[in-house]
Structure 1
């Protein structure tokens, strides 16, 4: 007898969900198979229902008026949620560090990667949904999407604005590699709550731009990364600083005096750190990816993202075999990196003239997990908060409500201060 399980339509303005499972089974295995198919169908139905709810919530967020997104209340809600999620993840990391790491460093790294994704996924959600990211991806993305999250990779990105690393996080999430991402960051970042703790436990490298100190630190971090059994994506902004008009003019003068190519859209890379890392990690890295990022219009700052201003960004991704990077001498590796940036500059020139990178656009869908995680965190935090606030209003506990309001405003002001300090901190090159 055939077994038919039909899950009818899920109401909504979009497509119809229709699941039909049909199979012919011998009588001896019919009950077991029936249970399995029923569970599978119900799970699929639940996922589709949840996706529909999230799609409607996302659409509602995208359609919020600009004045509301830029208001103090909206930034307060986003800030509080970001800080509270980060604080909760910090607690989980510390517990894992105390209970797990003494027995297994490898297991701690895997557990920590899961924990940090519970917070880092907020960043793709902010950019893709809160800021309504309009994203186009070109190059080798579709090939990388199925493999990069299973490899140890080095990723070279250009540094145009303050939040390039956040755009890089979005691309890493679409590659399913966000939880394994690592970066070279400025040393002061490790003191920024709550991400500083997460970056520390995730083995980020914190640089002072003084080679005498950074050399020892990079040597230690290279040994740490080489000991990884799990995959990771090491993101490197080889310029070492964000692009500005003044820096670009000084860069052109330096290029003319030293016989280097004059780049129109980028700064020349600082080759010493990259050369050092390639030699240290030559036996640990499986593949190298070159990613060129360009924003169409607004180059977002952290405050732009917090206020939900629309972002349009294009990515060009190239896969480069590690064997193609010469490491025989520092001069060869440095020349290879400069030539790579020259080709990146040519890509950006092509984009400036054609409003697109060369080649066909790749299919790069958003993942459901950032929306799912933010949805769950929001329910866990704001439903009890709303219930407690309602209770305080009912019993006329206005003093307690005032304390809560002051605390929330102080947290939002602290977040703005952190952003301003981060933007103002520009260590000098040594």
Structure 2
């Protein structure tokens, strides 16, 4: 084994250990910030929420900082020429990343390939200044993770049991709260629901559900939903094929059949504030058709071994709410299946051409940037770990010098 190989392996070990330290210290700092905000600002809900939103932004800053060190990826955004404006994205000359003008109140749906899909989509909201306003749905078991569970509860992430009878009320309460605050008539504006049912459903009696109080702060949101409910894998593909056969549906080549219940419910609850539904189709370099991204880019391998995709492709299109038949269950299911068929065809094109750019008329913009954050924000994420490393180094030097 050559000296060069030994040095490379040693460097990988150091980077891995550094990533672990950065994550642990960063997560602890976030939780401490949340604790202080909850204790000291309990009587000032707006300032408290601004601090909690900032800690939410800090979490994606933390993850992207680690990715920048361990496994930097470029992201290529392709926007749909029929539904997306030109020049929605631009290159950030200060970071080499991207900036965007995404709408302030949106629901984002996407296909699900690997566990870090949500990291890249969360970073996408960061490009539009919305990193502190992201909401995602997670398995209920994740709420029990020490430290992280507490942090995610403060983020008002939506924990799901995957049993609709249990999830419906919790989802209704969280979405109603999100909708009312987005219109300036929620608890952050000093308003409260008028009653609560025996099952725990919070009932709001708005005189005009479309009313927006412009004298109050409007709280934006980006709700990210994966209608497939799980990663694409051989197991989920097999289950999708069985379901398609039973339901007499055409199965997909690159996707699994999406679930419509939760998405339709979310759109119904947010109809008075949601400005747009973004549809993201994600493709990864290094993953061929009929391969599974989750097998190639496993979560531990990305963050600890640096085995991340060199290029992440995201195709974006937009739907206005009045285009979506959210009040008719059957028509909504048909609409969602149509969206997924079009995504399936788009992925066929991607695997053949290695990009989502289908030319003039079909594409309004193609822009590529690095998945990274502002330099000053990255320095803030690294300050505590660097100080810790320096302190340990000084103590060791004093002991053995």
Matches within 5 A, 1:352-371: 352-357=351-356, 358-359=358-359, 362-366=366-370, 369-371=373-375
Moved more, 176-185 or 359-368: 359-368
Whether contact under 8 Å (1:87, 1:194) holds in the other structure is yes
1:89 aligns with 2:93: no
Q: CA deviation at 1:269?
A: 0.6
Q: CA deviation at 1:128?
A: 4.3
Q: CA deviation at 1:69?
A: 5.7
Larger Rg: 1
Aligned counterpart, 1:192 = 145
Whether contact under 8 Å (2:78, 2:315) holds in the other structure is yes
The unaligned stretches of length 5 or more in structure 1 are: 1-64, 398-430
2:318, 2:242 → 1: CA distance? 32
TM-score (norm 2): 0.76
1:364, 1:154 → 2: CA distance? 23
Q: CA deviation at 1:315?
A: 0.4
> 1:234/1:101 Cα in 2 relative to 1: closer, same or farther (>3 Å)?
farther
Matches within 5 A, 1:376-391: 376-391=380-395
Q: CA deviation at 1:249?
A: 2.0
Matches within 5 A, 1:3-402: 67-68=9-10, 70-71=12-13, 73-104=14-45, 106-139=46-79, 140=84, 142-143=87-88, 146-148=100-102, 151-228=104-181, 229-297=218-286, 299=293, 300-306=297-303, 307-311=305-309, 312-357=311-356, 358-359=358-359, 362-366=366-370, 369-395=373-399
TM-score (norm 1): 0.71
2:268, 2:259 → 1: CA distance? 15
> 1:308/1:256 Cα in 2 relative to 1: closer, same or farther (>3 Å)?
same
Whether contact under 8 Å (1:289, 1:317) holds in the other structure is yes
> 1:127/1:368 Cα in 2 relative to 1: closer, same or farther (>3 Å)?
closer
1:380, 1:190 → 2: CA distance? 26
Whether contact under 8 Å (1:101, 1:107) holds in the other structure is no
Give the match's secondary structure for 2:282. Answer: strand
Q: CA deviation at 1:203?
A: 1.2
1:136, 1:234 → 2: CA distance? 22
Q: CA deviation at 1:113?
A: 1.3
CA shift digits 1:3-31 (9 cap, x unpaired)? xxxxxxxxxxxxxxxxxxxxxxxxxxxxx
Higher relative contact order, chain-length normalized (CA < 8 Å, sep 6+): 2
Give the match's secondary structure for 2:366. Answer: coil
> 1:388/1:241 Cα in 2 relative to 1: closer, same or farther (>3 Å)?
closer
Whether contact under 8 Å (1:83, 1:194) holds in the other structure is no
Give the helix-richer structure, 1 or 2.
Answer: 1
Whether contact under 8 Å (2:61, 2:381) holds in the other structure is no
CA shift digits 1:135-159 (9 cap, x unpaired)? 21101484276432x5110000111
Tell me how many residue pairs correspond in the alignment: 330
Whether contact under 8 Å (1:222, 1:281) holds in the other structure is yes
RMSD between superposed Cα atoms in Å:
2.4
Moved more, 379-388 or 291-300: 379-388
Q: CA deviation at 1:66?
A: 6.2
